[in-house]
Structure 1
Amino acid sequence: MVSDFFYPNFGGVENHIYLLSQCLIKLGHKVVVLTHAYGNRSGVRYMTGGLKVYYVPWKPFLMQNTLPTFYGTLPIIRTILIREQISLVHGHQAFSTLCHEALMHARTMGYKFTLADVSQAICVSHTSKENTVLRSGLPPEKVYVIPNAVDTAMFKPAAERPSGNEIVIVVISRLVYRKGADLLVEVIPEVCRMYPNVRFIVGGDGPKRVRLEEMREKHSLQDRVEMLGAVPHAQVRSVLISGHIFLNSSLTEAFCIAILEAASCGLLTVSTRVGGVPEVLPDDMIVLAEPDPTDMVQAIKKAISILPMIDPQDMHNRMKKLYDWHDVAKRTEIVYDRALKCSNQSLLERLSRYLACGAWAGKLFCLVMIIDFLLWRLLQLWKPAEDIEVVPDIVLSHDEDRGISQDFQAFNKDHSLR
């Protein structure tokens, strides 16, 4: 598993890689994660179930992405692939520089992987698949849709629903432009004006937090809009179960795991109709709106009217059947099997595909791949694969596994998810 985004950074991609890896390990596979260093977290670390993580000593350049080097990562990636006897490389998040470089080097070395110049590709929604096919030119039959999931054991409804006439709307998100923080600035005051019994809880941090603070001051909503700041992972559920409605204002979203977590806790969701969001929940669990303040206010109004008909426990039970990480892992395993059955392509065959990318871009891509191939051959001569020591697999005892799990849970409580 390769991505710039992994723990101790928290988010949807990070959770996806970790939970998918754990389920694949339980299915009998060996899984190794490759990411960049986070602060003083560098080198090799072990997580729950013996999941090995390589924190390569590169500093993030922008938004947790490493600086593109094209060839600078080749020596260490080659060494890790050989040391760990990797048979398939799975890149996560199209915005990850390390992901793309690792996939390029793996392809040069003859490995199978899933993303562009690919054996197979995985998208989390049908909308995401459509975008991927249109932008990359991949044959649709090579692109599979496997949704994210939620750990419903972690996200359970409260024993009793918050009582009284007060309606609490919860927002937990990174307060950035892409997540629609600017929409919240316009929506929250209008909803508070229309409904004196509505209160907002906003969890999350980011550059747009200042605008929300200013909005609260301007409209004198200090007692009706609670700003929590960054919410530790262990406390996300406790925040969710204190509310009745979950509000998502994202401008772009391939899937949105936060909606699953809220629904699993029994909250009715109001969300912008963007990306793959309409595919995530059944119609009776979510009210969709255009990313426009007026339409979002109307959606909240509708959600408040149907709130008495919502049964949190029934919603949680339905989520347990709809989304399960073990099911995601089994479906991903099928894609891996199909990728491994694909025939290896020679460099000339791959170059012909790159040439089709454009009159100038195609030639540039070919040049990049030719240089990558030559550098790989030079590395083979300088340090043959036989001279790289293979790492023996470590089988953890039950007690060791439990100890690692407890350590991770303690670590989890001390870091912010969003």
Structure 2
Amino acid sequence: MRHRLCMASDFFFPNMGGVEEHIYSLSQCLIARGHKVIVLTHSYGDRVGVRYMTNGLKVYYLPIKVFYNQCVLPTMVASLPLIRYILIRERITIIHGHSAFSTLAHETMIIGRLLGLRTVFTDHSLFGFADASAIITNKFLEISLADSHHCICVSHTGKENTVLRARVHCNKVSVIPNAVDTAVFTPDPSQRDKDKITVVIVSRLVYRKGVDLMVEIIAELCSRYPEVNFLIAGDGPKRGLLEEMREQCSLQERVTLLGSQEHSAVRDILVKGHIFLNTSLTEAYCMAIVEAASCGLQVVSTKVGGIPEVLPPDLVYLTEPDVPALLNGLEMAISDLKANKCLTPEKCHERVSILYNWMDVASRTETVYKIVSQEPTKNLGSQLKSYIKSGVLPFLLVISLCYIILRILDWLVPRDLIDISRDFPLPAEQFKPNNCIIKQRKPKKKRKARTS
């Protein structure tokens, strides 16, 4: 059965992160399996309107201003006409929202439910239950999933967390892990500095990524091991701490801050390192450590959230999320590297390629779509009852207002007057049978001119 899918999230390229990579890779594989996929996100700088990516993946960069942390303000009513128009124009049947942080994903799912579409949500993060931001986010997620058909989590720890904080029945939650494109993230030991040991960090420089721990670890490890350098890619509000530490400890030549990087450049950064360091304080999954292991790096990571489920013990050094434990893990990795006790980069890559495959993720996601498409359609009354169970009665006024606006728009802008978008044609022979990567044609060699 062919589906018409809308991937909705505030987080997409050119922004860099695990959610962005997940949406892109999953979309490419679903297109390769014969489905139509579009991406709905907000504008990034001058990137506004419709853009086409590899294999005809259409991306709608909506002209909506960012409110906080790359997310739009949850107005519901203001963005409703545009979202409705796109969903009808593309003949979408299933809306797949991503990330609990994304207000655009929640808005699109709620609007889609009022239009009678199926909705699926993927939760990529873990949240607590005590602080104010977590309470607000959890309540908003509970409202969004109250009438959603199914939820996907990237780890079993993430599933337990989502079931508790969003009050979703466990039968409506599936676990489908992330993967990595092993054809792109390949090792290249020749890029490494033979006289130095390079520790690579690729992360958003925000609090939950453990930047405060990172600052203390870099300063201490550089004082203990003069042969160790750090290569840091990423940007965020905590970058100032790293710059300050680098100035105070005079580590300008040993700590390189690359800033925000395109995802296409991540592999070229990883292959320059020997060790990959992850200091996250909370993580439902961690795609960065899988990409690093695929490039042959020894991974040192905090064992928080779903990270212990990601890699086998011989590919990762797991530690507690504190400075002494992380320093101990890094010293073990450095010692094993010097004694040649670690797996070779080629063997690391081979292990990861067997464990993780995006086509397998796409196939399991297809099973969720099949289950969702077979569920009966709810009327407005049944949908309102689902929202009543969430315990926020004032939100019913917002849902009712959105429903009224949709009915008015059906009169002002009838569906018959909306131009239906043509599908991007893709010959089936372009795709490999067991991979979602398209073979690219090699440029023809120019013939040498004859010399008399």
2:24 to 1, 18, 34: 18
CA deviations 1:367-408 (Å, max 9, x no partner) are 22222222222222333322322222231569999xxx999x
- Report the AA paired with residue 356 of structure 1: K
- Report the AA paired with residue 82 of structure 1: I
Aligned to 2:99, the other structure's residue is in SS state coil
Q: Which residue of 2 aligns with 1:414?
A: none
Counterpart-to-counterpart distance in 2, 1:282 and 1:228: 30
Counterpart-to-counterpart distance in 2, 1:180 and 1:45: 34
Aligned to 1:31, the other structure's residue is in SS state strand
- 2:302–2:326: 8 Å Cα contact kept in structure 1? yes
Alpha carbons of 1:221 and 1:9: their partners in 2 closer, same or farther (altered >3 Å)?
A: closer
Quick check: 1:315 aligned with 2:348?
yes
Residue 164 of structure 1, CA deviation: 4.5
CA deviations 1:328-383 (Å, max 9, x no partner) are 1111111111111111222222222222222xx2x112222222222222222333
1:71-110 to 2 correspondences below 5 Å:
71-110=77-116
Alpha carbons of 1:291 and 1:58: their partners in 2 closer, same or farther (altered >3 Å)?
A: same
Which runs of 5 or more structure 1 residues have no equivalent in the other structure?
408-418
Residue 96 of structure 1, CA deviation: 0.9
Counterpart-to-counterpart distance in 2, 1:66 and 1:218: 37
- 1:170–1:247: 8 Å Cα contact kept in structure 2? yes
1:164-243 to 2 correspondences below 5 Å:
164=194, 166-243=196-273
| Alignment RMSD | 2.3
1:251-266 to 2 correspondences below 5 Å:
251-266=281-296
1:363-402 to 2 correspondences below 5 Å:
363-396=393-426
Q: Which residue of 2 aligns with 1:2?
A: 8
Moved more, 40-49 or 16-25: 40-49
Residue 160 of structure 1, CA deviation: 4.5
- For this pair of structures, how many residues does the alignment match? 401
Q: Which residue of 2 aligns with 1:112?
A: 118
Q: Which residue of 1 aligns with 2:63?
A: 57
Aligned to 1:170, the other structure's residue is in SS state strand
- 1:251–1:274: 8 Å Cα contact kept in structure 2? yes
- Report the AA paired with residue 120 of structure 1: H
- Report the AA paired with residue 410 of structure 2: Q
- 2:17–2:204: 8 Å Cα contact kept in structure 1? no
Moved more, 374-383 or 323-332: 374-383
Counterpart-to-counterpart distance in 1, 2:195 and 2:109: 54
Residue 303 of structure 1, CA deviation: 2.1
Alpha carbons of 1:326 and 1:216: their partners in 2 closer, same or farther (altered >3 Å)?
A: same
Counterpart-to-counterpart distance in 2, 1:238 and 1:89: 34
Runs of 4+ in 1 over 6 A off after TM superposition: 397-401
- 1:270–1:300: 8 Å Cα contact kept in structure 2? yes
Percent identical? 53
Aligned to 2:61, the other structure's residue is in SS state strand
- 1:287–1:303: 8 Å Cα contact kept in structure 2? yes
1:247-326 to 2 correspondences below 5 Å:
247-307=277-337, 308-310=340-342, 311-326=344-359
Alpha carbons of 1:220 and 1:40: their partners in 2 closer, same or farther (altered >3 Å)?
A: closer
Moved more, 35-44 or 255-264: 35-44
Aligned to 2:100, the other structure's residue is in SS state coil
Residue 145 of structure 1, CA deviation: 1.0
CA deviations 1:62-81 (Å, max 9, x no partner) are 22211211212221211111
- 1:121–1:144: 8 Å Cα contact kept in structure 2? yes
Q: Which residue of 2 aligns with 1:157?
A: 187
Aligned to 1:91, the other structure's residue is in SS state strand
Alpha carbons of 1:244 and 1:207: their partners in 2 closer, same or farther (altered >3 Å)?
A: same
Counterpart-to-counterpart distance in 2, 1:162 and 1:76: 49
Q: Which residue of 2 aligns with 1:31?
A: 37
- 2:16–2:261: 8 Å Cα contact kept in structure 1? no
Counterpart-to-counterpart distance in 2, 1:232 and 1:7: 8
Aligned to 2:31, the other structure's residue is in SS state helix
Q: Which residue of 2 aligns with 1:411?
A: none
Q: Which residue of 2 aligns with 1:70?
A: 76
- 1:37–1:58: 8 Å Cα contact kept in structure 2? yes
Counterpart-to-counterpart distance in 1, 2:68 and 2:439: 32
Q: TM-score, normalised by structure 2?
A: 0.83
Counterpart-to-counterpart distance in 2, 1:167 and 1:183: 20
- Report the AA paired with residue 4 of structure 1: D
Moved more, 256-265 or 377-386: 377-386
Counterpart-to-counterpart distance in 1, 2:257 and 2:275: 16
Quick check: 1:352 aligned with 2:385?
yes
Residue 159 of structure 1, CA deviation: 4.4
- Report the AA paired with residue 350 of structure 1: Q
- 1:73–1:102: 8 Å Cα contact kept in structure 2? no
1 or 2 for the larger relative contact order (CA 8 Å, sep ≥6)? 1
- 2:16–2:262: 8 Å Cα contact kept in structure 1? no
- 1:84–1:391: 8 Å Cα contact kept in structure 2? yes
- Report the AA paired with residue 147 of structure 1: P
Moved more, 249-258 or 381-390: 381-390
Aligned to 1:331, the other structure's residue is in SS state helix
